[in-house]
Structure 1
Amino acid sequence: MAYSERETVDIRTGETEKAFEKLFRENFKSLHAYAFSFVKDNESAEEIVQNVFFRIWEKNEELALDSSLKAYLFRSVHNESLNQLKRQKIRKSIHISYESENLSASGVASEKVTVSELQHSLQQALLALPQQCRTIFQLSRFDQLKYRQIAEELGISVKTVENQMGKALKILRVKLAEFLIIIFALILNQVK
């Protein structure tokens, strides 16, 4: 069913619970099927759809639609499904890493070697960053400066700082990808 612009506004702002409930009932099955096509689990698919509707309800006045409401719902379910798959993959990797670490008799010695390798790789990755990227990253992550403070200190715009941080993080993610599981395992061990 197509929604008029007025109905869309009513649904978004929560002015009428009936309109929101109608939207939920009319779209739940198709959105659930769409989410299921990603996650292959009924409960997870149901949770994804409910999360999408919850966020719409919660952020009703902040919601800005550039397209139809139905397209927005499907795009939201798509994104939420991909996020769910990423979280599952990370949990699985941490679990596998954690189990293999527990099975290892020389876990402590190998952990020290791994931390040393990680520190070395981090230094190498930082050196591989372009100068401005590296400077901005270090000011943000090591000196704990906010983007606005970095921009003022370097005489550049906040947007440039944001772009350079994004670039730095992307490069570091690629260069340090092999250590992500190890980092999670180390964090888990410190929590114990």
Structure 2
Amino acid sequence: MESTVAASVSQAPFDDENAFERLFKEHFKALHAYANVMLRDEALAEEMVQNVFLRLWERREQLSVQISVKAYLYKMVHNDCLNYFKHNKIKAKYETYAAYAMEGKAYSATHKLELGELEHHIAEALNELPQQCRTIFQMSRFEELKYKEIAIHLGISVKTVENQMGKALKIMRVKLADFLPLVILWLVDKYL
């Protein structure tokens, strides 16, 4: 039966609906089983084989099958399954990338909002420090001057700078206690 179908197919390009229907009925179950082994999904395997036959019918006038029809059909199903795997691999990579990108944007937006709120609370806490204490703290933390440099710049002793820094840190710690995790993020973000 195979050789007569192959011969009739290569001679007449699937013009006969009855011959095509016979071809479908003769090979569908075996092709479905083959696709199911590759895909491990019966419904998807059925859809894959039906699409193969649909494409075969749509291109029937351009086809000239030189090998057996059975081998040609198996090759089409095999290639479609491989293309399906390639497509899913690309799709999975894109989904992973998109999820990562969206997570990064969401994290970034949340992070910026939290850091903005933290900076506001730091500014408020700084404003509540006594003038000399605030000046010393800002010179130490924001201008990154050493205690000796601050003492020379302000004309005070290093011991006074140390005492004022201790006082500033204690007040800041109390005022920003609720924001300690954000302070750590802020410091990491600022100095790395």
TM-score (norm 2): 0.50
| Structure 1 partner of 2:62 | 62
Q: From the CA coordinates, give the structure whose radius of gyration is larger.
A: 2
Structure 1: 4+ residue segments shifted above 6 A: none
Structure 2 distance, partners of 1:13, 1:27, is: 15
- 2:2 maps to amino acid: A
Number of equivalences: 106
Give, in whole Å, the separation in 2 of the partners of 1:23 and 1:52. 12
Structure 1: gaps of 5 or more residues: 108-192
* Residue pairs, 1:7-18, within 5 angstroms: 7-9=8-10, 12-14=13-15, 16-18=16-18
Q: Give the Cα separation in 2 of the matches to 1:54 and 1:10.
A: 20
> Aligned residue for 2:74?
74
Given that 1:24 and 1:53 are in contact with CA atoms closer than 8 Å, whether structure 2 keeps it comes out as yes
1:6 Cα offset (Å) = 4.8
Give the conservation status (yes or no) of the 8 Å contact 1:11–1:20: no
Once the two structures are TM-superposed, the CA of residue 106 in structure 1 deviates from its matched residue by: 3.6
Q: Which amino acid in structure 2 is aligned with residue 89 of structure 1? A: K
Partner residue, 1:148: none
Supply the AA of the counterpart residue of 1:39.
L
- More moved, 67-76 vs 90-99: 90-99
Q: Report if aligned partners of 2:10, 2:64 keep a CA contact under 8 Å in 1.
A: no
The CA deviation at 1:18 is 1.4
Tell me if 1:83 matches 2:80: no
- Give the match for residue 38 of structure 2: 38
Q: Give the 5 Å matches for 1:95-174.
A: 95-104=95-104, 105-106=107-108
Write the distance in 2 (CA, Å) between the matches of 1:30 and 1:6: 21
1:12 match: secondary structure: coil
Q: Which 5+ residue runs of structure 2 have no aligned equivalent?
A: 110-192
What corresponds to 1:166 in structure 2? none
Deviation at 1:11, TM superposition (A): 6.5
In the superposition, the TM-score normalised over structure 1's length comes to 0.50
Supply the distance in 1 between the matched residues of 2:60 and 2:93 (Cα, whole angstroms). 36
CA distance in 1, matches of 2:12, 2:48: 19
CA distance in 1, matches of 2:24, 2:36: 17
> In 2 relative to 1, CA 79–11 (structure 1 residues): closer, same or farther, beyond 3 Å?
farther
Change (3 A) 1:32 1:79: same
**Does structure 1 retain, via aligned residues, the 8 Å contact 2:52–2:76?**
yes
CA distance in 2, matches of 1:87, 1:24: 27
Percentage identity across aligned positions? 41
1:12 aligned partner, one-letter code:
P
Aligned: 1:28 with 2:28: yes
Cα separation, 2, equivalents of 1:99 and 1:83: 24
Equivalents in 2 of 1:3, 1:11: separation in Å? 14
The one-letter amino acid paired with 1:102 is: M
- 1:188 aligned partner: none
Equivalent residues of 2:13, 2:64 under 8 A apart: no
- Structure 1 distance, partners of 2:63, 2:108, is 53
